[in-house]
Structure 1
Amino acid sequence: MKDSDFIKVFAPATVANVCCGFDVLGFALDQPGDEVWVRQKESPGVTISAIEGICGLSTDPAENVVGIVAQKMLRELDVPFGVELQLHKGMPVGSGLGSSAASSAAAAFAVNELMGRPFTTQELVPFAMEGERLASGSAHADNVAPSLLGGFVLVRSYDPLDVIPLGVPLELYCTVVHPQVELKTSLARSILKKDIPLQKGIRQWGNLAGLMAGLLKADYSLVSRSLHDEIFEPERAFLIPLFRQAKEAALEAGALGAGISGSGPSIFALSATATQARQVEQAIQQVYANSGIDLNTYVTQVPEQGARLVSQPTLHAQK
Structure 2
Amino acid sequence: MEKDQKLREIKLFAPATVANLSCGYDVLGCCLDNVGDEMLIRKNDKKQIRISKITGQDLPMEADKNVAGVAAKALLTALGESQGFDIEIEKNIKAGSGIGSSAASAAGAVFGINKLLGTPFSNIELIKFAMEGERLASGNAHADNVAPALLGGFSLVKSYNPLEVLSLPNLPELRMLILHPQIELKTKDSRSIIRQNLELQKAINQWGNLAALVSALYTKDYELLGRSLKDEIIEPVRSILIPYFDELKTLSAANGALGFGISGSGPSVFAMCKGDKTAEKLKAEFQEFYADKNIDFDLHLSKINSEGIKVL
CA distances 1:153-196 after superposition (whole Å, capped 9, x unpaired): 00010000010011414531110000112222222212211111
**Which residue in the other structure is 1:17 paired with?**
20
Contact kept in structure 1, 2:27 and 2:156, CA below 8 Å? yes
Which of the numbers 25, 47, 63 marks the counterpart of 1:44?
47
Corresponding position: 1:305 with 2:307: yes
Contact kept in structure 1, 2:169 and 2:217, CA below 8 Å? no
Aligned amino acid, residue 144 of structure 2: D
**Which residue in the other structure is 1:108 paired with?**
110
Compared with structure 1, are the counterparts of its residues 146 and 154 closer, same or farther at alpha carbon in structure 2 (3 Å cutoff)?
A: same
Spell out the pairing of 1:1-319 with structure 2 (5 A cutoff): 6-55=9-58, 57-169=59-171, 171-310=173-312
In 2, Cα distance between the equivalents of 1:289 and 1:307? 33
Unaligned runs of 5+ in 2: 1-6
Q: What is the Cα deviation at residue 121 of structure 1?
A: 0.9
In 2, Cα distance between the equivalents of 1:167 and 1:305? 12
Compared with structure 1, are the counterparts of its residues 143 and 129 closer, same or farther at alpha carbon in structure 2 (3 Å cutoff)?
A: same
In 2, Cα distance between the equivalents of 1:88 and 1:194? 37
In 1, Cα distance between the equivalents of 2:184 and 2:147? 25
Question: Which of 58-67 and 286-295 deviates more?
Answer: 286-295
Contact kept in structure 1, 2:169 and 2:218, CA below 8 Å? no
Contact kept in structure 1, 2:30 and 2:155, CA below 8 Å? yes
Contact kept in structure 2, 1:150 and 1:167, CA below 8 Å? no
Aligned amino acid, residue 242 of structure 2: I
How many percent of aligned residue pairs carry the same amino acid?
A: 48
Aligned amino acid, residue 221 of structure 1: E
Unaligned runs of 5+ in 1: 311-319
Q: What is the Cα deviation at residue 64 of structure 1?
A: 0.6
Contact kept in structure 2, 1:7 and 1:39, CA below 8 Å? yes
**Which residue in the other structure is 2:4 paired with?**
none
In 1, Cα distance between the equivalents of 2:12 and 2:99? 18
CA distances 1:12-63 after superposition (whole Å, capped 9, x unpaired): 00000001101110000013111221111122121121111112x1111111
Aligned amino acid, residue 6 of structure 1: E
Aligned amino acid, residue 164 of structure 1: L
In 1, Cα distance between the equivalents of 2:178 and 2:44? 39
In 2, Cα distance between the equivalents of 1:204 and 1:50? 42
Question: Which of 245-254 and 72-81 deviates more?
Answer: 72-81
Aligned amino acid, residue 46 of structure 2: S
Contact kept in structure 2, 1:167 and 1:304, CA below 8 Å? no
In 2, Cα distance between the equivalents of 1:205 and 1:109? 32
C-alpha root-mean-square deviation of aligned residues, in Å? Answer: 1.4
Question: Which of 39-48 and 21-30 deviates more?
Answer: 39-48
In 2, Cα distance between the equivalents of 1:212 and 1:284? 28
Aligned amino acid, residue 15 of structure 2: P
CA distances 1:235-281 after superposition (whole Å, capped 9, x unpaired): 11111010110111011111000100011000101111011111111
Contact kept in structure 2, 1:170 and 1:215, CA below 8 Å? no
In 1, Cα distance between the equivalents of 2:52 and 2:74? 18
Three-state SS of the structure 2 residue aligned to 1:33 is strand
Three-state SS of the structure 1 residue aligned to 2:65 is coil
Report how many aligned residue pairs link the two structures: 306
Contact kept in structure 1, 2:182 and 2:296, CA below 8 Å? yes
Question: Which of 67-76 and 109-118 deviates more?
Answer: 67-76
* TM-score, scaled to structure 2: 0.95
CA distances 1:68-100 after superposition (whole Å, capped 9, x unpaired): 111122222223431111111111000000100
